[in-house]
Amino acid sequence: MSVQKENSMVKQKQMLADHFMALSEAPMTGRKVCYTFVPGNLTELITAFDMLPVYPEINSLQSGMRQRSRDFIREAEDAGYSEDVCSYVKCDIGMMLQGNIGPTDQQLPPPDLLLLSYTGCFVFMKWFENLRHLYPKAEIAMLHIPYQADGKVEPSAIEYIKEQLRTEVIPKFEKVAGRKIDDAVLAQCMNRSAMAEDLLINVFESARHRPSPIDAYFGGVYYIGPIFTSFRGSQACVEYYEELWKEVQERVALKLGPITPDGTFTEKYRLVVEGPPNWTNFRDFWKLFYEHGAVFVGSTYTRVGGVYDYGFRHSAEDPLKSLAEYCMGCYTNRNLPQRIDLIEKFIKDCDADGLVINSIKSCNSFSAGQLAMMRDIEERRGIPVGFIETDLVDPRYYSYSNIKNRLDSFFQMLEQRKELVGKAVLVS
């Protein structure tokens, strides 16, 4: 069964198809290619230099959804990578070892520039080292982002990042592109990014309605696609979010819930979720929730490429400062209390009934501290918390029966709590 597609989803699919076609033709057209990562990405710079970005973790998740990750992971493990290594890394490396044929069955070009923006995930650094060995001819640039250990962005940290951009990163772009940066083009990209970010937050905040017109987790991973990957800063990105926001407004007016692979459903439970989804069994995983009438009204994973909920927007006024602030604020670069505060904000703003934590076996960047999160939210909000375990793209660590049993117990807790609240209202 195919997922019902709205115009925005059709538009996004075409955007991705065009992008991968441009990548496959890059050796002939001469366009330069930049490999980078999603958290803290510098897409506006890449676009300003007319380069094509490639995101290794996006290739991995797409391979997982297409049931190709198992073979790629096996290839990497045969090459010496441990079972405990991040499955995104093994999937990506395995894909490259098998010829670097991307998710659309087109060969991806080698990078002209390897750009690492280090934002809280140490694995990215080791991943980058391996990419460097695979592509020794590529230029390499690293942007080191200080971790928000104290939960705030220090002015010295912003200046530190700006200096790296001025003296290390942009000169590498200019060397690869063969020309100087065009400040006017960069400013245009920053302005378009801000427009798209406004629209995205409108979409996510629509979950405050009852019923919620969106699923902020399973639908949310589609909503963040253009802005967190190849298109932020482009006019196509703005047009995508204009179309998406129009569709969401129509659903609000008609009091319709989100679309699922099986159509719509009646909202019964409103949930917030911490952690990435499982990609190898995405639809089955989603169905475990919507068959209970559960809709996600908040998700931390959809902030992995940028947190816009507190007002940050890219700005053309001081582009390098704005890029620095963006990198500092990504979810994986925030400390544990900040992450808990964001979860509580989702719960309060959208009147959520419960929290689900999906602990990812091979992703310490998300999984570390999740039990502390669970206890803290239980104490602060007094709501049920469900805890399940899966993996990103390794199908060996997806146990349907185990997940279903835990979720059945969780939904029983939610139902009992609703009954108790209902009785308390009647008594009062």
pLDDT digits (tens, 9 = 90+) for 203-223: 999 999 999 999 999 999 999
Mean pLDDT of all residues in the chain? 93
- The CATH code for residues 187-427 is 3.40.50.11900
| Both structure tokens of 197 | 């970010």
Nearest to 269 by CA among 74, 104, 79, 418: 418
Its CATH architecture, for the domain 7-183, is: 3-Layer(aba) Sandwich (3.40)
Q: What is the pTM of this model?
A: 0.94
Task: Give the residue extent of every domain in the chain.
Answer: 7-183, 187-427
Domains 7-183 and 187-427 agree in fold: yes
pLDDT of residue 1: 43
Which of 54-77 are b and which e, b meaning 16 or more Cβ less than 10 Å from the residue's Cβ? bbbbbbbbbbbbeebbbebbebbe
Sequence-distant (6+) residues with CB within 8 A of 250 are none
* Percent residues over pLDDT 70 in the chain: 97
Count of C-beta atoms within a 10 Å radius of residue 301: 20
Q: Would you say residue 101 has pLDDT above 60?
A: yes
Is residue 267 classed as helix, strand or coil in its secondary structure? Answer: coil
Contact 393, 56 (CB under 8 A): no
Q: How confident is the model at residue 229 (pLDDT cuts 50, 70, 90)?
A: confident
Count of C-beta atoms within a 10 Å radius of residue 134: 16
pLDDT of residue 424: 59
Q: State mean pLDDT over 78-94.
A: 93
Q: Would you say residue 354 has pLDDT above 80?
A: yes
CA distance 361 to 358: 9
Task: List beta partners, residue 142.
Answer: 116
Q: How confident is the model at residue 428 (pLDDT cuts 50, 70, 90)?
A: low
320-323 LR contacts (CB < 8 Å, sep 24+): 320/161, 320/162, 320/165, 320/166, 321/158, 321/162, 322/190, 323/42, 323/44, 323/45, 323/161, 323/165
- Asked whether the CA dihedral 241, 243, 244, 249 is positive or negative, the reply is positive
pLDDT digits (tens, 9 = 90+) for 140-192: 999 999 998 888 999 999 999 999 999 999 999 999 999 999 999 999 999 99
Q: Would you say residue 123 has pLDDT above 90?
A: no
